[in-house]
Chain A
């Protein structure tokens, strides 16, 4: 591995600004390592040649005022990228090349970033292990045959393996934070409305949010600054003063009130996760924070609520993939037959499962019992957080109830797979921000993460708390490049 690959995003930005490294050198380093890492299967589509040209162009006419000048980044294949294939991990979009750029990737480009490729993910972001992708499993660089989490599994793997200095994912129920936790990296889901959804292949519109995935909290603050913007092309984008997240990063958490929700102490949670949580609590106390027990009484209903709301929206959002306008089309005897064949062959099992659940819960006669009730419970879950934030500034929980599992282990047990999201899903339902940071290892040496949950639009606060824990917890990823031989 080149020394360049070991540098974090902020370090690379410094090196480029100080002219210690060129964009070409950096871009080449990450492309070369990516090329050697095909065994991880983290890329669906690469943009290496084009990216290298962009890097050369940058070096010829550098603009060092940009936030990430000449920095190469690979991104989740859920972001539409102009002239670069975008599959959403699905066969139904296997040959889809957008003529437009998502707002978030456009922001990256506008701030000097160079897109080096599109990263694997669960099909339409539906999954927690990257096993539902039409383009195959992704290996977790931590250990062979370990899942990298999902749905942003290609992103977490590529980041942990240092094929990209940082990356972006999308998080509908934990799809950034859970893979970050499984790979010993940092992942942040911003407040709903912070990052534009324009040009992101939609899964569940009221929950989807793009966010940064990085090596550490500093990088996370920088990349969030780059991604987040008010966008009139997304009606749910919120106009608020976006912070100077990196500049205002501050490890001082003295006097901060941190809530510990008792409902997150779920039955059967491994002791190592319990210990990890205690470790986090101790660090907060040691650094002058106040730890306060709180209650989020409707936590138990979050997962069932999520598995009604998200599939309902998905069943409608995915109706556009019908073989008529773009993407995969199967030949049929007539229109209905064409639809049925296209969608039967074009979608994988998990996507079909969720379309069926979603169609069912929206059906007349079931709507009130499922969808409407779920919306009411969603409101209660949000109220829980509002109540809690009258007493505390942020909330600390584990990111996941377990560490990464083996490939294939949970594939045929959807409910056990869904349980992975138990700590992350409530945050999406409430529309608030949360960050997962690596905090320790389990007995197998697999990473474990802690989640810090904040108030709406209070990203700076959770970044600061995460920064403080990160400084004190002394986490290091153990990666031995087992896939490069």
Chain B
């Protein structure tokens, strides 16, 4: 589906179509309590246990802004290199639905807390900047459950009032790979900042996807369709691919695209019309009279700026400069904050190059196999550093190290203990090695003859024999040196 071509184009007869994508990402603010009430926000709680009178919209209940959520939005804005607005306004978006207790959602319409910014993507052919239009704060709705009671719809208000950041991109995305990179980058930035856990399974990150197509070379944007509430990168890509092809087919047949809101059916892998522009809701936005305009002075914003940690882009730069990593390696190591922490811990105590290779190679494979996060790794950063040091000081060979690594993965034990207990220490005593080598030479006179008459390739045979005789513990470098001396 997602081809690795640089350009994502849809081809029909002689026409090439470019796909224009913009995302409205809804990111749940990482916060103990809701945007306008003190209810807890714990995921997976029993229905209707995380609900206050404010969340359930009882008569006379009033919203009171949660300052922590404001700070989280500001932090995120800073992470998106965006303008923090000194004045923003909370509006009411009015519509009726059973899981919307107030009959309106408190959101920010004309005056969002965060203005324009940008996100840099690292694509195989270089960096690409994606513009951010705005970030605003809003309340989540509750959840309607249609499949428990045969007669009634049940409503769970646990999510009602939970703080969301809606991050709106400019229509700058051009391919499925860019969508993938963009979501991952956003998630990475927010995890670094601790403003959103980015957990798509739990719904902490969802997106509305805007898609339009145009013939390659055209400069005007085509009419877009909005695909609502897609909750995984894979589904986003499937939905975009389906939708872009649908639009191209219509244009190819001489039709035109209707601006509308569509739903993605993950089972049928297709998008379906939800409502057209004509029957779009009139949300009757107006400033919420229960809340005063949110005014932030520069001192407040500057204080928050001081709390911003090193973000992926800066960290990547530092890794390249300080550790001499390739951009590719640096990218992998900084994409997740926990990985970068792990890497820095290991590299502080051991060789950077080996640390890079072992983490991106063996460790990632292990985590992948076990489907666990790096924070759950059975091999601590300290133990991995020890293992690398054992290689570095010649105590074990790289090959033995892999065996040790496997034992560490199963037991979580200190590599030094494993090496000692299992007697895996490398044989680096030249006299001992010479004995083995002499024996191998004596045992294989024909091969020695052949080697000396020019069959260079047989050198590997001798190395293999020595390793076999030493149960793999011979120091390969020394073996090479001594063998060369003896055979030449």
State the A residues within 8 Å of B (CB): 79-80, 86, 88, 93, 96, 98-100, 102, 197-202, 204-206, 232-236, 312-313, 315-316, 318-320, 322, 324-326, 335, 339, 359, 362-364, 367, 371
Total A-B contacts with CB atoms under 8 angstroms apart: 97
In contact, A197 and B60 (Cβ under 8 angstroms): yes
In contact, B289 and A206 (Cβ under 8 angstroms): yes
Q: Which of B99-107, B220-228, B417-425, B444-452 contacts A (4 or more CB under 8 A)?
A: B99-107
- The answer to the question of B64 belonging to the interface, with a C-beta cut-off of 8 Å to chain A, is yes
The closest CB in chain A to the CB of B103 belongs to: A319
In contact, A80 and B59 (Cβ under 8 angstroms): yes
CB-CB under 8 A from A363, the residues of chain B are 282, 284
In contact, A232 and B64 (Cβ under 8 angstroms): yes
- The answer to the question of B129 belonging to the interface, with a C-beta cut-off of 8 Å to chain A, is no
Within 8 Å by CB of B286, from A88, A232, A312, lies A312
Contacting residues of chain B (56-103) with chain A, CB-CB under 8 angstroms: 56-65, 92, 94, 96-98, 101-103
Contacting residues of chain B (392-438) with chain A, CB-CB under 8 angstroms: none
Rounded to whole Å, the gap between the CB of A300 and the closest CB of chain B is: 24
- The answer to the question of B153 belonging to the interface, with a C-beta cut-off of 8 Å to chain A, is yes
CA of A204 to CA of B92, assembled, Å: 14
A sample of 23 inter-chain contacts (CB < 8 A) reads A80-B59, A86-B59, A99-B53, A102-B60, A205-B290, A234-B62, A235-B64, A235-B290, A236-B289, A313-B289, A316-B103, A316-B284, A319-B96, A320-B57, A320-B102, A322-B103, A324-B155, A325-B58, A325-B101, A335-B153, A362-B94, A364-B282, A364-B284
Within 8 Å by CB of B53, from A100, A236, A313, lies A100
CA of A99 to CA of B102, assembled, Å: 18
Known contacts A206-B289, A319-B103, A359-B284; is-contact A197 B98 (Cβ 8 Å): no
Total chain B interface residues with beta-carbon distance under 8 A: 30
CB-CB under 8 A from A204, the residues of chain B are 289
- The answer to the question of B292 belonging to the interface, with a C-beta cut-off of 8 Å to chain A, is yes
In contact, B60 and A200 (Cβ under 8 angstroms): yes
Closest 10 CB pairs of A and B: A319-B103, A205-B289, A362-B284, A206-B289, A199-B60, A320-B57, A201-B59, A80-B60, A200-B60, A320-B103
CA of A117 to CA of B53, assembled, Å: 23
The closest CB in chain B to the CB of A208 belongs to: B289
In contact, A325 and B282 (Cβ under 8 angstroms): no
Known contacts A88-B59, A201-B59, A204-B289; is-contact A319 B53 (Cβ 8 Å): no
Rounded to whole Å, the gap between the CB of A402 and the closest CB of chain B is: 31
In contact, A339 and B96 (Cβ under 8 angstroms): yes
In contact, B286 and A362 (Cβ under 8 angstroms): yes
CB-CB under 8 A from A205, the residues of chain B are 289-290
The closest CB in chain A to the CB of B102 belongs to: A320
Most-contacted residue by chain B among A79, A102, A324, A335 (CB, 10 A): A324
Rounded to whole Å, the gap between the CB of B473 and the closest CB of chain A is: 71
What string of 1s and 0s marks CB contacts (under 8 Å) between B283-299 and chain A? 01110011110000000
CA of A99 to CA of B282, assembled, Å: 34
Rounded to whole Å, the gap between the CB of A418 and the closest CB of chain B is: 21
CB-CB under 8 A from A362, the residues of chain B are 94, 284-286
Rounded to whole Å, the gap between the CB of B34 and the closest CB of chain A is: 14
Secondary structure of the A contact surface, majority rule: loop
In contact, A324 and B62 (Cβ under 8 angstroms): no
CB-CB under 8 A from A200, the residues of chain B are 60
CB-CB under 8 A from B289, the residues of chain A are 204-206, 236, 313
Rounded to whole Å, the gap between the CB of B154 and the closest CB of chain A is: 11
Rounded to whole Å, the gap between the CB of B84 and the closest CB of chain A is: 21
In contact, A367 and B286 (Cβ under 8 angstroms): yes
The closest CB in chain B to the CB of A201 belongs to: B59
CB-CB under 8 A from B102, the residues of chain A are 319-320
What string of 1s and 0s marks CB contacts (under 8 Å) between B244-288 and chain A? 000000000000000000000000000000000000001011100
Most-contacted residue by chain B among A204, A235, A318, A335 (CB, 10 A): A235
CA of A312 to CA of B53, assembled, Å: 24
CB-CB under 8 A from A96, the residues of chain B are 59
CA of A359 to CA of B103, assembled, Å: 13
Rounded to whole Å, the gap between the CB of A315 and the closest CB of chain B is: 8
In contact, B58 and A98 (Cβ under 8 angstroms): yes
What string of 1s and 0s marks CB contacts (under 8 Å) between B3-44 and chain A? 000000000000000000000000000000000000000000
CA of A316 to CA of B91, assembled, Å: 11
CA of A202 to CA of B54, assembled, Å: 13
Within 8 Å by CB of B104, from A316, A325, A371, lies A316
CB-CB under 8 A from B290, the residues of chain A are 202, 205, 235-236
CA of A102 to CA of B155, assembled, Å: 27
CB-CB under 8 A from B63, the residues of chain A are 235
In contact, B57 and A233 (Cβ under 8 angstroms): no
CA of A275 to CA of B103, assembled, Å: 49
The closest CB in chain B to the CB of A318 belongs to: B103
Contacting residues of chain B (134-159) with chain A, CB-CB under 8 angstroms: 153, 155
* Inter-chain pairs besides A100-B58, A198-B60, A324-B155, 10 sampled, C-beta below 8 Å: A199-B61, A201-B60, A236-B291, A316-B284, A320-B102, A322-B103, A325-B101, A362-B284, A364-B282, A371-B286
CB-CB under 8 A from B153, the residues of chain A are 335
Rounded to whole Å, the gap between the CB of A235 and the closest CB of chain B is: 5
Contacting residues of chain B (281-331) with chain A, CB-CB under 8 angstroms: 282, 284-286, 289-292
In contact, B286 and A316 (Cβ under 8 angstroms): yes
CA of A198 to CA of B56, assembled, Å: 15
In contact, A324 and B60 (Cβ under 8 angstroms): no
Rounded to whole Å, the gap between the CB of B20 and the closest CB of chain A is: 26
CB-CB under 8 A from A335, the residues of chain B are 97-98, 153
CA of A316 to CA of B95, assembled, Å: 9
The closest CB in chain A to the CB of B36 belongs to: A235
CB-CB under 8 A from B62, the residues of chain A are 197-198, 233-235
Known contacts A88-B59, A316-B104; is-contact A235 B292 (Cβ 8 Å): yes
CA of A371 to CA of B286, assembled, Å: 9
CA of A313 to CA of B94, assembled, Å: 11
In contact, A325 and B59 (Cβ under 8 angstroms): no
Rounded to whole Å, the gap between the CB of B263 and the closest CB of chain A is: 18
Within 8 Å by CB of A319, from B58, B104, B282, B285, lies B104
CB-CB under 8 A from B291, the residues of chain A are 235-236
